[in-house]
């Protein structure tokens, strides 16, 4: 191992064979391992026969722990950061620590490995040339629907984490907001015995999951394909609905201009339709 540093070390998301040899080396060589849950990580340490002491760094004590970790680093001792599974900092604690360590002028060295959303996406069959990782949707249905609505027209693949308690409700909200025909994928229990990756239009995916309670157990990544942009030279039902509302109050010219702004459809087309409907 090189200089004194905070090593951000990825650990497996299920299958222990996904632990990298470099991760084992680093965890053996640092002075201390900052772990999200020391009891959970003790099992990983035992499996790889790593004897390095563990200290806890979680959501509730991360700020206090920063000082202690900076002390180790200023004494020339390296520290590793791990989480319960996958890459620390990704929907896991560590951001506050990493930023503080960098600001204090110490090196932060990533030791890459598993990330659940990359693992899911690469096998989903959904487009991955552009995607965004959106983390966990809100727990309450109203906020979750709003959260999905804000992302409804994004043109790239969207990737979410979801808990087993909410997977069915979340998928139901998704089908409602993104529409039953939008393609989506569920990746469950990745790298584990019951790994399942299923890709289908949202309505089908929902039926498939609702029909089998086993498919609602475990850990999940949800993915949905991006929106297909509406062609600007094609009128659809939604555009005509908007136009009719405007025509009830405004002139043909004003209605078609506003409808063009709202829908993104060409003004000329809307003007023609407005003339026919007024
Ligand atoms: N830091 C982790 C990473 O690199 O992916 C994510 C931690 S986050 C607290 C835990 C969530 O990740 C789970 O609720 C689930 O959505 C997803 N996840 C973790 N392991 C998974 C697995 N084996 N299969 C599917 N999803 C998984």
pLDDT of residue 144: 98
Q: pTM for the full model? A: 0.85
CA of 268 to the centre of ligand 1 (A): 49
Cα–ligand 1 centroid distance for 208 (angstroms) = 22
DSSP, res 86: B
- What is the tens place of the pLDDT at every residue in 155-173? 999 999 999 999 999 999 9
The top-level CATH class assigned to 117-224 is: alpha beta
203 touches 181 (CB < 8 A): yes
Query: With bands split at pLDDT 50, 70 and 90, how would you rate the model's confidence at 271?
Result: very high
The model's confidence at residue 2, banded by pLDDT at 50, 70 and 90, is low
Q: Who contacts 232 (Cβ-Cβ below 8 Å, separation ≥6)?
A: 264, 265, 266
Return the structure tokens found at 103.
């600001």
Return the CATH architecture of domain 5-114. Answer: 3-Layer(aba) Sandwich (3.40)
Q: Please give the share of the chain, as a percent, with pLDDT higher than 70.
A: 99
Cα–Cα dist 62/220, whole Å? 26
In order of 31, 149, 150, 188, the CA distances from 137 in angstroms are 37, 11, 12, 17
Pocket of ligand 1 (CB under 6 A): 13-14, 83, 85-87, 90-92, 115-117, 161-163, 187, 189-192, 219-221
Q: How far is the CA of 86 from the centre of ligand 1 (A)?
A: 7
Instruction: Note the pLDDT tens digit of each residue in 99-119.
Output: 999 999 999 999 999 999 999
pLDDT band at residue 278, thresholds of 50, 70 and 90? confident
Planar angle of CA 264, 266, 268, nearest 5 degrees: 150
**Closest by CA position to 137, among listed 127, 129, 125, 145:** 145
79-82 and 183-188 strand pairing = unpaired
Which two tokens mark 4?
């004194």
Q: What is the largest CA-CA distance in the chain?
A: 80
Burial class (CB in 10 A: 0-12, 13-18, 19+), 34: buried
CA of 217 to the centre of ligand 1 (A): 13
Atom of ligand 1 nearest to the CA of 87: 4
> By the 8 A CB rule, do 42 and 32 touch?
no
pLDDT at 234 over 70: yes
Helix, strand, coil % (nearest 5) of the chain?
A: 45, 20, 40
């Amino acid at each position: 191992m090189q200089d004194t540093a905070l090593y951000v070390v990825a650990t497996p998301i299920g299958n222990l064979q996904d632990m990298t040899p470099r991760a084992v080396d680093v965890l053996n060589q640092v002075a201390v391992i900052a772990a999200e849950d020391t009891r959970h990580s003790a099992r990983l340490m035992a499996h790889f026969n790593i004897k390095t002491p563990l200290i806890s760094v979680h959501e509730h004590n991360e700020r206090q722990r920063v000082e202690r970790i900076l002390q180790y680093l200023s004494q020339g001792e390296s520290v590793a950061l791990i989480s319960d599974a996958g890459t620390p900092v990704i929907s896991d604690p560590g951001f506050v620590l990493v930023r503080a360590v960098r600001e204090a002028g110490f090196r932060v060295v990533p030791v890459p490995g598993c990330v659940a959303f990359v693992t899911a996406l690469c096998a989903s069959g959904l487009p991955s040339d552009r995607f965004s990782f959106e983390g966990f949707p809100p727990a309450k249905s109203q906020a979750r629907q709003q959260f999905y609505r804000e992302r409804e027209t994004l043109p790239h693949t969207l990737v979410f984490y979801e808990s087993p308690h909410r997977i069915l409700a979340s998928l139901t909200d998704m089908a409602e907001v993104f529409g039953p025909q939008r393609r989506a994928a569920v990746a469950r229990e990745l790298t584990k015995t019951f790994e399942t990756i299923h890709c289908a239009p949202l309505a089908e995916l929902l039926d498939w999951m609702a029909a089998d309670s086993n498919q609602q157990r475990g850990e999940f990544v949800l993915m949905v394909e991006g929106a297909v942009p509406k062609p600007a030279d094609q009128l659809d039902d939604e555009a005509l609905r908007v136009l009719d509302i405007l025509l009830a109050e405004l002139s043909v010219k004003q209605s078609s201009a506003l409808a063009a702004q709202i829908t993104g459809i060409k003004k000329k087309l809307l003007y023609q339709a407005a003339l026919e409907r007024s």
